[in-house]
Amino acid sequence: MAKKKTIYECMACGATSPKWMGRCSHCGAWNQIEEVTQFQESTKAKAKVSQYRNESDSSEVLKLSEVTKEDVSRKSSHIKEFDRVLGGGIVDGSLVLIGGDPGIGKSTLLLQASAKLSQQYKVLYISGEESVRQTKLRADRLTEDASELYVHSETNLDVIHDMVKKHKPEFLIVDSIQTVHHPEVESAPGSVSQVRECTHALMTIAKTEGIATFIVGHVTKEGQIAGPRMLEHMVDTVLYFEGDTHHSYRILRAVKNRFGSTHEMGIFEMKQSGLTEVINPSQMFLEERGEHVEGSTVVATMEGTRPLLVEVQALISPTTFHNPRRMATGIDYNRLNLLMAVLEKKQGLLMQQQDAYLKVAGGVKLDEPAVDLSIIIAIASSFKSKATKPHDCYVGEVGLTGEVRRVARIEQRIQEALKLGFKRIIIPKHNMNEIELFGEIEVLPVQNISEALKIAFESQ
């Protein structure tokens, strides 16, 4: 009879300990230590992975100059927003992890991409959460033709490997990694050890067979990928599908990408027939913006290589409490406090007894410094009860001394504002030598926030 050993494993990071602890000594997570029984046979799991290797795979060492471009080619998913986030297409042999809240559309996105890819390539879709009939019902709702897609419902990793060897697909989708179990690992599906071993086995299959593999991952209540942090280190790309289930728009972000930028963003709209791409996201974010509204400004921001026009809203109101409240949605809370301190010090706007609320409309999260000037103007607009001009756009980083500093890719931002019909754009003075003349939009350079506020509220 096999010997068994009891250890305690952290569900957050996978660290092990001989005794239970309330707080993990490695990652600091509380109440994540669980008892795990290890059997001697579980050591076979590591040896089992070697069986997933392609026997014909050569261990020959090559010079980088000897690797041809055909060896590292990309394939299009025929979904432009999806390709944009992936860095221009799907790389052969890559392992991509997609996470997101339940019901956000992860499976729908991958099923649509699989249906499009199956028209040109062999695609194997493995579902551990649905039967084949349920997958068929979902596919029938989509506008894409999925008749050539290979589907199967399976959770056993060995069976999945046998199916890959039999059908030799060019793309493999596993939905989800938390339902797949390794038969040689003596723990429940979804546990740290199971997720780790199954992901490692799928990674080995992807690399040795050259199969582009997508795996769906569940998220915790904090919004992080469930399972060990090692999971995100093992894969090539980590994508997060964000959005509110009460609204139709979804945002796909890359937080890790070995083959492209991590700042790209793809925008989709959920409809009855599935996800559709949003071709002009700037117009979408501004379509509900009112004119002559206090505390509302528009910023020209960059998400990777894509320029976006987004509305920033601020609300400043008196408070009767000793400690005023500060709240920020879509913007870092500390940045709100910093910019309010600059306004108080450099412009004399006393807001010690004012509640401050800041929101980026549309659910977008902005983290680049170029949004500072727009936030400053929005706060001042609400505090002074003066509306800014509806066709003004703002770009610029604000320093602690009140200066407006240069930003990158200024021409792309101006062109996006021009395309949406804006008449004026306020930019840092030091960016003026980087731009050409734009006849249909007035470019106004400013050196500090005093000049910016004067332009924003002139003739008011």
Cite the annotated binding site by residue number: 100-107
Distance CA 444, CA 455 (A): 9
Nearest to 329 by CA among 359, 298, 373, 362: 359
The dihedrals phi and psi of 196, each to the nearest 5 degrees, come to: -65, -50
End-to-end CA separation in angstroms for the chain: 86
The one-character DSSP state at 33 is E
Phi and psi torsions of 413, nearest 5° = -65, -45
DSSP-derived 3-state class of residue 272: coil
Instruction: State how far the Cα of 366 lies from the Cα of 457, in Å rounded to an integer.
Output: 25
Could you give the 3-state DSSP secondary structure of residue 351? coil
**What radius of gyration do the chain's Cα atoms show?**
26
Do the Cβ atoms of 16 and 4 come closer than 8 Å? no
Integer Cα distance of 164 and 183 in angstroms: 17
In a 10 Å sphere around its CB, with 0-12 CB exposed, 13-18 middle and 19+ buried, how is residue 386 labelled?
Answer: middle
User: Residue 417 to residues 137, 283, 372: CA-CA distances in angstroms?
Assistant: 43, 10, 17
| Selection from 200, 223, 229 nearest residue 215 by Cα | 200
The CA-based dihedral angle spanning residues 82, 85, 86, 90, taken in that order and rounded to the nearest 10 degrees? 20
d(CA 113, CA 108): 9
- Integer Cα distance of 10 and 27 in angstroms: 9
Could you tell me which residues are beta bridge partners of residue 131? none
Q: Pick out the residues of the known binding site for ATP.
A: 100-107
198-230: b or e for each residue (b if 16 or more CB lie within 10 Å)? bbbbbbbbbbebebbbbbbbbbeeeeebbbbbe
Compute the half-sphere exposure of residue 48: CA atoms within 13 Å on the CB side of its CA: 17
